[in-house]
Every structure is written in structure tokens, then in C-alpha cells.
């Protein structure tokens, strides 16, 4: 856990990550400074910014309060009133630190953004004229044009204060200069962190992490704080090398328990365009979190479905409600439309399950019925709610919504009188114990667009459903029917074992199978989750007990790992071929429950594993098996041949990933829900619920890809000579060496531009990357005694050095240098299994 809040600088797709306010004794190291947290009186809400409506000095535009500090935002500066922490020598003392933006517009436009539903109220004294009720609060405050082409945004993430500089293209980040008042001394320590020493303690800001982002890919580049005056700081950004390789590393953006004292299970998750997560499942907790104002806040049966909407940071609930009658309900599927309406399906045994007038089926019909419920964006009203079933047992297991707002549902039915429509693909029950069904409800929930059985003479169950842009429904599930309807061109037209998964594509009218296929080997298979991309490729996951499950030659894992494995299969739009198909598992029991696909064709899978050797990646959140059973989250590349990341997710108890979805960002985040019996399940600070509720809890986690710098190179680069520069000659000499992957970099650099008088001396070396006959090294320096940052790129073209090159960039300026006029470069790289460095030219 980072001891500091952070903030970002985004410049023409370049971002600079800094650290916000924290306080401690002045002689403490920055990483030991206690974190500033929002006061517990704020409950589980994120930090917010109050508009000034007369409750403080008129110069103040907005106020934000935290534990031990108050931040006042004026047009010209940020004023932090900071109390020394309890138990420290200066306890009780207050320090005021002012941060101003040197050379900035003195009257930028300051406005609140993303108004919060909550209001601040001030009823102080007995004069009503001085009361300030209903003061609006905001998630963000924007300073528009604080510098030319630069906006400043204050906000919070996970209840931590942050601020961003947003730069338009071609704007120089060196324009930003921070001036401080109220600090005795400023210091940039050895790690590059900025420390403000004050009478009450130290205020820290983390060393900048600077990166350039292109097409959703982030590439870090060197940069850091530079003291330009005793009370002023700027940020220097070095040149950027676009040829650098990348490693993708997932981080847990948020992770939260969701539950009360009973048993709570998250079974499906959806996400809207704003990043709000919608979760449904089942709860037996009478104290499941249901804030006032939502649809149903009291528990009334043996078990209820629940519907919860979490904000994008996972720090608070937008709404949460029970959904049920006097018996038992399960929420088994959820979807969300562009307007933020949530669509839920599941099963109910309650004759008094809440329905709406005019809904398709307002009376309970059988032993248990499926239901379909549409909630408005606030979670406070039912747009519609209907039973869906006949005289037997019926269950809705998955739901999707198309662009017109029609709800598509699948599940299983034991009712021979399950409602179907004329012209549907299969209007009669096929026999056996259960058939699958696929039903399409109109926008208002008042009528069936189509409804069809789908099955053979055995047991058939629809488990997963997806809808494409044209309104085709893709269904997966499980069957032991040897006569399940298939199409002639399907990749597998006969059942392979005692039971198989199936994959079926139904046209928008529900009358024709675009394709239908078995999917399995000689053992048993379950199809448990399905997704579809914009090209019409279907992605299926589930469980296989077959050693001959159909896989493809270049897939990630072509052989079974244990008694049961998860599988991931990508099916071509015609249903006639497998694009790829792979096992996914270790030496024990593994099962995939949920799958999602992003715009680039990466597949995200979650499920459960009992395998201590489940395939994980080195940069994973959790590389080791933690308990009785763990959830897993795996991201496969578009070819199915490589795992982008794969991680366990769990504590010391029983954990299961039930569903996953992804947002539509250029660098998508994965949202996972499931259940956990682990009190030590990994959660994140500031998340809505960081303590275990008891029994079994649902969990919701958001996993984000973070692009890290290239892995460190073990080796040595040396050189010396002269290069041509504008107006004359530049001379250089250097040696840079890293002896171990986790070791430090040592070296020396001297460069003189004899035409301009530039004299650069290396101070520290932060990175060294060797790629073939090229190398890049970066660090801090002095330029004629003034602190700076450099990036050097060199090429070893072989003896006698006439094809070697050297370029250097200082403080982000254009590189100078090129092919050597004289001298040579030598790149030595440590080779695995050798005792000495090897010259790459051998």
C-alpha cells in the first residue's frame, strides 16, 4: 500500500504521476510518512469538494476536508491547513502550506464537475440568515487554462486527494512551476521525492512517474523534480524512445467485499460507459448493504437476489437493493444499457415477487419461475418486472440487452407450457428433464418478441448468453442430448462424450439457427460463459474433463493439466471453425465461469482453481495459491497463444470468480465478481468494504493493466569519441553497467557540446536497456552545474566504429549527435550460463 495519495499530469498523451499531501516528523523518510486518510465520519464515501456558499472566506472557491487537514482552493493557489499528527513532537501545531502556480493565469475559470448526490449543510448559530443548507458537492474541481493549453483538475481516487495537469498537444510541461510558502526548506531526496520541511512535520510528494501513452500502451520515460529556487520546483521530462519494449502488469485498482453477516454470493457483473459496476447474486444477510432510497431495503424471505451498483473507484455504492418476495430468489444474470438501466434475471419461488402492471406475466406460474426485472438508473424504481415460466421449474441464468433495449434471456425450463411464440425455432418441449430456452422481451417488458425452447431428448441447460450489434443471440450451456439441434456446417455436429458444451447462434427473430454446435471431447463438458466481439467471433469458457477436448495447434495449452480444466474457445462467425481453443489449468481441478472480450480481441476469463500450479505470469497480482480454492483471472491475447496476464485472486479460504466483464476504455479494465470465504481476501484501501462480513461474502474487483518499463538488462556499455553537432563538434565518454537484474546501475557520463558550451555530467543512472546492437540509458545530470535529466541512445555497429552512433537529449530537448566522427561504442551483454559479459558483436 502506497503511503501517499497520487496525482497525474497528462500532456499530449504524456502523463506525470506525482504524490499528494502527507505529514510526519521532518526527519522521517518519505516512505514512512503516515497516509492522510479521509475522516471516518465520512463513512464509506470518497472525498468531495464543497462549493463555497458563504461558509468560509469569499476568496475560497472550493473546500475539501480530510483527517488532519483542510484544503482551500482559491483562484490562485491551494492552501493546506495541516495539523501535526498525534504523538509527534509538534502535536497540536498547525501549519499552513500554500502551493501556487508560478506564471499561471491569476483568474482561471474554476468550476465543479460531476456533482455528487450528497449535500453539505451548515446550521451554525441561531440566525437562519447565516445557515447554509444544500451546499453542492463535487467529485472534481477544474481550473480551465491555468497555463496556456493546460487545465488543472483536483479530484480523489480511493478517498485520496489527487490533482492532474491536463495538457493539450504540443504544450511544454516545463511551463509548470510550483511555488511553496510555509515550508522552512524544500528538498529533493535521493529517491527523487519532494519533501517540504515544516514546523509541524514534513509534507511529501512522490517522485514523478512519467510515461507516454499511445493506442492504450503506456511507455515510461525518465523525469523528476528539479529545485529551481529555494521555494520553487519544476518537473523536467526527458526525451522518449518509441522503440522500447514493454511488459504489461495488472494492478488491483479496487477490490471490495460486498455482504453482511449471512452468506452473500456475486454471480454476474456488468459495467456501464462511466465505469460503474453492476452486480447481482444471492444473499441471506438481513444486513446486506442497502442504503435508503433504493428499491427494496428490507429482507423478507429465506434468500434474496440483490442488485448493487458500485461507483467507478469502488469506494461507494450508488445504489443497492434486495429483490425478492417471501420465499427464495437468486440473481443469476445482469446487463446494463446505454442509459444506465439494469436488467436482471434469475429464479424465484415467491408468488409475491415484485412485478409491475402491464408486464408480460404478473402471476406466479409454477414450482419456481424465472424473472426479468429492469431497474432505473437510480435503483429506486422498477421500469418493469415480470415472471417468466410455466407450471414446472424455470430458471433464468443469463441476460443481454440489445441497442433497442430488448432483453434476451436464457436458462432452463422443466415446463412443457413454458411461454413460446409462433414462428420461433422450437415451440414444443423436446423431452428429457429440462430444455434450454431463449426469450426476447420487448423494450417495455410487456410482450415477447420471441421465445423458444432449445433442446433434445435429454438434459439441456442454457448458462451463458451474449448479444451482438445486429441482435443475434449467442448461447452456451451443457447438454447430454445426442439429438440437440445442430447445423450442417457446425464444427462439431455429434456429441463427443457423456455430456458436452454447446454453442448456438440464434437470429434476431428467434426463428433460425445461424449455427449450432457441440463442443467437447470424450468426457464431460460444461459451457458456462460466452462473449462476442464486433466481428461476430464467439468466445466460450467452461469446464472439461476430456483429455481430447478440441484444441488448436498454436494455442496456449494444448494438453489437459488435471482431472478437470477450464477451457477457452474462440469460434469463427460462421460457427464452422475454431479460431483457437485451449485448455487453461494446472494439475488439479479448474473451471472457467465467466468470459469477456475487449475491442482488440483479448479474452478475459475468471473461474475457480484448486491447482497450486495454475499458469500465472511473473508480474501477476498473486502468483501463488493462497487457500482451499482460489479464484483466477486470466487475459489471453487475440491469437489464444499467449497469456497477457494470469493471476490467482484469493485468501486462505474458499474463493471463486463467477463472472467478468470489461469496460470500453482504450486500455480496458476487467471487473470481476464472485464469492469468498476468506477474511484475508485481498482488498484495497478506500474500497467500499474492506472487512469480511461473515459466512461467505461476495467480492467485486477491478483489475487494470499498467504498462511498466522494459525489464532491466544485465550488461555493460562503454564508449568515447566525437559527433557532429550544429555549428561544431560534441565530445563524449561514458561507461554504464548493471551486474544483476535486481542490482543498481553504475556509471559515468561526460558530454561537451563545443559549439553551444553545454557541459553534461551524469549524476545517477536510472535505467539501462540493451536490445541487440542498441542501448538506451537514462538518469539525472548537471548541465553547467544546473540539475537536469538525460537520455542517451547508442549503437554498436562493429569495428572499427565508423557505423557506431551516440545521441543525447537533455531535459526533453531534441537529441543531438549521430554517427560517430571518431571513436567507438562497445555493448557487452551478460548471456545466460556464461560467467563473463559477452560482446554482442561476436
pLDDT more than 90, % of the chain? 50
3-state secondary structure of 519: strand
Q: Out of 238-242, 414-418, 557-561, 579-583, which region has the weakest mean confidence (pLDDT)?
A: 238-242
> In this model, does residue 123 exceed pLDDT 90?
no
Residue 509, all three cell numbers: 427473430
Alpha-carbon distance of 158 to 683, in angstroms, equals 12
Instruction: Please say if the pLDDT value at position 214 is more than 70.
Output: no
Return mean pLDDT, the chain. 82
The Cα-based distances of 351 to 46, 399, 597 in angstroms read: 40, 22, 38
> What value does the mean pLDDT take over residues 174-185?
82
Inform me whether the pLDDT recorded for 278 exceeds 80: yes
The answer to which of 12-21, 345-354, 538-547, 576-585 has the lowest mean pLDDT is 12-21
Residues 203-222 have a mean pLDDT of: 56
441 and 585 in a common domain: yes
Residues 276 and 312 placed together within one structural domain of the fold: yes
Highest mean pLDDT among 75-84, 234-243, 514-523: 514-523
Distance separating alpha carbons of residues 805 and 356, to the nearest angstrom: 75
Q: Among 24-38, 310-324, 664-678, 703-717, where is mean pLDDT lowest? A: 24-38
Give pLDDT, residue 476: 98
Please say which residue of 687, 708, 729 terminates a domain: 708
Question: What is the extent of the structural domain holding 27?
Answer: 6-237
Residue 26's pLDDT band, with cuts at 50, 70 and 90, is: very low
Grade residue 841 by pLDDT with cuts at 50, 70 and 90: very low
Spatial separation of the C-alpha atoms in residues 159 and 45, rounded to whole Å:
7
Cβ atoms 743, 716 nearer than 8 A: no
* DSSP codes joined into one string, 452-467: EEE--SS-EEEEEEEE
Question: What is the separation of C-alpha 711 from the centre of its chain, rounded to a whole number of angstroms?
Answer: 23
* pLDDT of 101 strictly over 50: yes
The DSSP annotation for 369-411 comes to: EEEEEEE-TTSSSEEEEEEE--SSBEEEEEEEE-TT--EEEEE
Distance (Å, rounded) from C-alpha 388 to C-alpha 400? 16
Residue 244 lies in a domain: no
Quote the pLDDT of residue 746: 86
C-alpha cell at 102: 508560478
At which of 681, 708, 735 does a domain end? 708
Cβ-count burial 460-488 (b if 16+ within 10 Å, e if not): bbbbbbbbbeebbbbbbbbbbbeebbbbe
Asked whether residue 243 is domain-assigned, the answer is no
Same domain (yes/no): 758, 689: no
How many whole angstroms separate alpha carbon 670 and alpha carbon 275? 10
The strand pair at 160-167 and 6-11 is best described as parallel
Name every residue whose Cβ is closer than 8 Å to that of residue 793 and which is 6 or more positions away in sequence. Answer: 241, 774, 775, 776, 805, 806, 807, 808, 815
* Residues 267 and 232 both lie in one domain: no
Half-sphere exposure of 781 (CA within 13 A, CB side): 30
Question: Does residue 380 share a domain with residue 266?
Answer: yes
- Distance from C-alpha of 206 to C-alpha of 7, rounded to nearest angstrom: 9
Residues 602 and 673 in one domain: yes
Of 176-180, 505-509, 657-661, 671-675, minimum mean pLDDT range: 176-180
The CB density around residue 709, as the number of other CB atoms within 10 Å, is: 20
Torsion of CA 514, 424, 456, 459, to 10 degrees: 100
The pLDDT assigned to 13 comes to 28
Give yes or no for residue 601 having a pLDDT over 90: yes
Residue 839 pLDDT > 80, yes or no?
no
Give the integer Cα–Cα distance in Å for 46 and 31: 24
Residue 686 C-beta-side C-alpha neighbours within 13 Å: 25
Distance CA 485, CA 517 (A): 8
Which helix (H) or strand (E) covers residue 766, if one does? strand 759-771
| Of 88 and 638, more confident | 638
**What is the pLDDT at residue 666?**
77
Provide mean pLDDT across the span 428-454.
96
Q: Does residue 501 contact residue 481 with C-beta atoms inside 8 Å?
A: no
Instruction: Give the CA count within 13 Å in the CB-facing half-sphere of 173.
Output: 31
The CA-CA-CA angle for residues 486, 490, 492, to 5°, reads 85
Instruction: Give per-residue burial for 172-210: e unless 16+ CB within 10 Å, then b.
Output: ebebbbbbbebbeebbbeeebbbbbebebbbbbbbbbbb
Residues 390-401 as b/e (b if ≥16 CB within 10 A, e otherwise) read bebbbbbbbbbb
Residue 246 placed within a domain = no
pLDDT of residue 226: 79
Q: 110: alpha, beta or left, given left = phi > 0 and alpha = psi -120 to 50? A: beta
Q: Is 87 exposed, middle or buried (0-12, 13-18, 19+ CB in 10 A)?
A: exposed
Please indicate whether residue 140 or residue 116 has the higher confidence score (pLDDT): 140
Residue 724, classified by CB atoms within 10 Å of its CB into exposed (0-12), middle (13-18) or buried (19+), is middle
* Confidence label for 443 from pLDDT (cuts 50, 70 and 90): very high
Q: Do residue 624 and residue 649 come from a single domain?
A: yes
When mean pLDDT is compared across 107-111, 297-301, 439-443, the lowest value belongs to: 297-301
Is position 247 within any domain? Answer: no
User: Which residue would you say has higher pLDDT here, 224 or 180?
Assistant: 180
Q: What are the residues facing 157 on neighbouring strands?
A: 160
What's the length of the chain? Answer: 842
What pLDDT, on a 0 to 100 scale, did the predictor assign at position 797?
83
Rounded to 5°, angle at Cα 751 from 750 and 754: 140
User: Would the pLDDT of 241 be above 50?
Assistant: no
- Establish if 242 belongs to a structural domain: no
Residue 133 CA to residue 127 CA, distance in Å, equals 13
Task: Choose between 675 and 833: higher pLDDT.
Answer: 675
Q: What is the DSSP letter of 564?
A: B
Nine cell digits for residue 23: 505529514
What pLDDT was estimated at residue 175?
76
pLDDT of residue 15: 31
Q: Given this model, what pLDDT does residue 488 score?
A: 95
Residue 524 or 2, more confident: 524
Sign of CA dihedral 204, 208, 213, 217: negative
**Averaged pLDDT for residues 471-476:** 98
- pTM reported for the whole predicted model: 0.62
Residue 13, C-beta contacts closer than 8 angstroms, at least 6 positions apart: 212, 213, 214
Q: Is residue 248 part of a domain?
A: no
Q: Which one, of 209, 228, 240, 168, lies nearest residue 813 by Cα?
A: 240
As for how many domains the chain has, the answer is: 3
Higher pLDDT, 123 or 473: 473
Indicate if 699 and 762 belong to the same structural domain. Answer: no
pLDDT tens track for 284-329: 888 888 766 666 656 666 788 999 999 988 989 999 988 988 889 9
Query: Residue 245 falls within a domain, yes or no?
Result: no
Q: Chain-centre distance of CA 245, in angstroms? A: 22
> 644 pLDDT exceeds 80?
yes
The answer to whether residue 86 scores a pLDDT higher than 50 is no
Residues near 489 by Cβ (< 8 Å), separated by ≥ 6?
515, 574, 575, 576
Q: Is residue 350 part of a domain?
A: yes
Identify whether residues 485 and 418 lie together within a single domain. Answer: yes
pLDDT tens-place string over residues 748-802: 999 999 999 999 998 888 788 887 788 888 888 888 888 888 889 999 888 777 8
Looking up residue 636, the CATH number of its domain turns out to be 2.130.10.10
**Of 237, 269, 286, which residue sits at a domain end?**
237
| pLDDT given at position 17 | 32
Largest CA distance in the chain: 92
Strand 697-708 vs strand 223-229: parallel, antiparallel, or unpaired? unpaired
Phi and psi at residue 446, in whole multiples of 5°? -95, -15
Q: Of 144-148, 404-408, 723-727, which gets the smallest average pLDDT? A: 144-148
Angle at 671 between CA 404 and CA 706, to 5 degrees: 120
pLDDT bracket for residue 156 (50, 70, 90): low
Distance separating alpha carbons of residues 658 and 635, to the nearest angstrom: 15
Q: Same domain, yes or no, for 228 and 342? A: no
Residue 190 pLDDT more than 70? no
- The mean per-residue pLDDT over the stretch 62-70 comes to 73
> How would you class 170 by CB atoms within 10 Å of its CB: exposed for 0-12, middle for 13-18, buried for 19 or more?
exposed
Give yes or no: residues 680 and 746 share one domain. Answer: no
Q: How confident is the model at residue 446 (pLDDT cuts 50, 70, 90)?
A: very high
Name the CA dihedral angle for 349, 355, 361, 365, rounded to a multiple of 10 degrees: 20
**Is the same domain home to 288 and 395?**
yes
3-state helix/strand/coil string of 772-834: CCEEEEEEEEEECCEEEEEEEEEECCCCCCCCCEEEEEECCCCCEEEEEEEEEEEEEEECCCC
Amino acid at each position: 500500500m502506497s503511503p501517499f495519495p497520487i496525482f497525474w499530469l497528462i500532456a499530449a498523451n504524456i502523463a506525470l504521476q506525482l504524490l499528494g499531501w502527507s505529514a510526519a516528523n521532518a526527519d522521517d523518510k518519505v516512505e514512512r510518512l503516515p497516509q492522510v486518510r479521509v475522516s471516518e465520519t465520512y463513512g464509506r464515501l470518497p472525498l468531495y469538494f464543497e462549493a463555497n456558499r458563504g461558509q468560509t472566506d469569499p476568496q475560497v472557491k472550493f473546500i475539501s476536508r480530510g483527517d488532519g487537514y483542510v484544503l482551500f482552493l482559491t483562484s490562485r493557489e491551494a492552501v493546506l491547513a495541516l495539523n501535526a499528527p498525534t504523538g509527534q513532537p509538534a502535536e497540536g501545531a498547525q501549519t499552513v502550506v500554500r502551493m501556487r502556480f508560478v506564471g499561471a493565469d491569476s483568474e482561471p475559470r474554476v468550476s465543479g464537475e460531476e456533482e455528487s448526490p450528497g449535500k453539505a449543510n451548515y446550521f451554525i448559530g441561531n440566525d437562519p440568515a447565516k445557515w447554509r443548507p444544500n451546499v453542492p458537492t463535487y467529485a472534481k474541481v477544474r481550473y480551465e487554462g491555468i497555463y496556456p493549453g493546460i487545465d488543472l483538475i483536483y479530484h480523489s481516487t480511493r478517498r485520496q486527494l489527487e490533482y492532474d495537469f491536463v495538457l493539450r498537444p504540443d504544450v511544454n510541461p516545463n511551463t509548470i512551476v510550483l511555488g511553496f510558502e510555509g515550508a522552512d526548506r524544500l528538498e529533493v531526496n535521493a529517491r527523487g521525492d519532494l519533501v517540504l520541511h515544516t514546523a509541524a512535520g514534513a509534507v511529501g510528494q512522490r517522485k514523478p512517474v512519467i510515461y507516454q501513452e499511445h493506442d492504450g500502451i503506456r511507455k515510461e520515460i525518465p523525469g523528476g523534480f528539479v529545485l529551481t529556487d529555494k521555494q520553487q520546483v519544476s518537473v523536467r521530462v526527458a526525451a522518449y524512445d518509441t522503440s522500447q519494449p514493454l511488459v504489461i502488469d495488472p494492478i488491483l485498482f479496487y477490490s471490495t467485499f460486498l455482504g453482511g453477516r449471512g452468506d452473500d454470493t456475486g454471480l454476474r457483473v456488468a459495467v456501464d460507459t462511466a465505469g460503474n459496476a453492476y452486480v447481482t447474486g444471492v444473499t441471506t444477510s438481513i444486513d446486506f448493504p442497502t442504503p435508503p432510497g433504493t428499491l427494496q431495503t428490507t429482507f423478507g424471505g429465506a434468500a434474496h437476489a440483490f442488485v448493487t451498483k458500485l461507483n467507478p473507484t469502488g469506494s461507494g455504492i450508488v445504489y443497492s437493493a434486495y429483490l425478492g418476495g417471501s420465499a427464495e430468489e437468486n440473481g443469476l444474470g445482469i446487463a446494463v444499457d446505454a442509459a444506465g438501466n439494469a436488467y436482471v434475471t434469475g429464479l424465484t419461488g415467491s408468488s409475491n415477487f415484485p412485478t409491475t402492471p402491464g408486464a408480460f406475466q404478473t402471476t406466479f406460474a409454477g414450482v419456481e419461475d424465472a424473472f426479468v426485472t429492469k431497474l432505473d438508473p437510480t435503483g429506486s424504481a422498477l421500469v418493469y418486472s415480470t415472471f417468466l415460466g410455466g407450471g414446472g421449474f424455470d430458471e433464468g441464468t443469463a441476460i443481454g440487452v440489445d441497442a433497442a433495449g430488448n432483453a434476451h434471456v436464457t436458462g432452463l425450463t422443466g415446463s412443457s407450457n413454458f411461454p413460446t411464440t409462433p414462428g420461433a425455432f422450437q415451440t414444443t418441449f423436446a423431452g428429457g428433464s429440462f430444455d434450454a430456452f431463449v426469450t426476447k422481451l420487448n423494450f417495455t417488458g410487456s410482450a415477447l418478441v420471441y421465445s423458444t425452447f432449445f433442446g433434445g431428448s435429454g438434459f439441456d441447460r442454457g448458462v451463458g448468453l451474449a448479444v451482438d450489434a445486429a441482435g443475434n443471440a449467442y448461447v452456451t450451456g451443457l447438454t447430454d442430448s445426442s439429438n440437440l439441434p445442430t447445423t450442417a456446417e457446425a464444427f462439431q455436429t455429434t456429441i463427443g462424450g457423456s455430456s458436452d458444451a454447446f454453442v448456438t447462434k440464434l437470429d434476431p427473430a428467434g426463428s433460425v439457427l445461424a449455427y449450432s454446435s457441440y463442443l467437447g471431447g470424450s468426457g464431460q463438458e460444461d459451457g458456462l460463459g460466452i462473449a462476442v466481439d464486433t466481428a461476430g467471433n464467439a468466445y466460450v469458457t467452461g469446464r472439461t474433463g476430456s483429455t481430447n477436448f478440441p484444441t488448436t495447434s498454436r494455442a496456449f495449452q494444448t494438453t489437459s493439466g488435471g482431472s478437470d480444466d477450464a477451457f477457452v474457445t474462440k469460434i469463427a462467425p460462421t460457427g464452422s471453425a475454431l479460431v483457437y481453443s485451449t485448455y487453461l489449468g494446472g494439475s488439479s481441478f479448474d473451471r472457467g465461469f465467466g468470459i469477456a472480450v475487449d475491442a482488440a480481441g483479448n479474452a478475459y476469463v475468471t473461474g475457480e482453481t484448486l491447482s497450486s500450479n495454475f499458469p500465472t505470469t511473473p508480474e501477476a497480482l498473486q502468483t501463488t495459491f493462497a487457500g482451499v480454492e482460489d479464484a483466477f483471472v486470466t487475459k489471453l491475447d487475440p491469437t489464444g497463444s499467449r497469456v497477457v496476464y494470469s493471476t490467482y485472486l484469493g485468501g486462505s479460504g474458499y474463493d471463486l470468480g463467477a463472472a467478468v466483464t470489461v469496460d470500453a476504455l482504450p486500455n480496458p479494465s476487467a471487473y470481476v465478481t464472485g464469492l469468498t470465504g476468506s477474511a484475508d481476501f485481498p482488498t484495497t484501501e478506500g474500497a467500499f468494504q474492506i472487512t469480511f462480513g461473515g459466512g461467505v461474502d461476495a467480492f467485486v474487483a477491478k483489475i487494470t493493466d499498467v504498462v511498466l518499463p522494459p525489464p532491466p538488462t544485465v550488461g555493460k556499455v562503454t564508449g568515447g569519441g566525437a559527433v557532429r553537432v550544429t555549428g561544431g563538434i560534441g565530445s563524449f565518454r561514458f561507461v554504464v553497467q548493471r551486474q544483476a537484474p535486481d542490482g543498481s546501475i553504475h556509471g559515468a557520463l561526460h558530454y561537451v557540446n563545443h559549439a553551444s558550451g553545454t557541459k553534461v555530467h551524469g549524476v545517477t543512472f536510472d535505467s539501462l536497456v540493451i536490445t541487440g546492437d542498441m542501448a538506451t540509458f537514462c538518469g539525472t545530470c548537471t548541465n553547467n552545474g544546473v540539475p537536469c535529466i538525460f537520455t542517451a541512445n547508442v549503437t554498436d555497429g562493429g569495428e572499427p566504429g565508423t557505423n557506431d552512433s551516440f545521441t543525447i537529449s537533455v531535459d526533453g530537448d531534441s537529441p543531438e549527435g549521430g554517427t560517430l566522427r571518431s571513436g567507438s561504442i562497445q555493448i557487452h551483454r551478460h548471456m545466460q550460463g556464461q560467467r563473463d559479459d559477452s560482446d554482442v558483436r561476436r
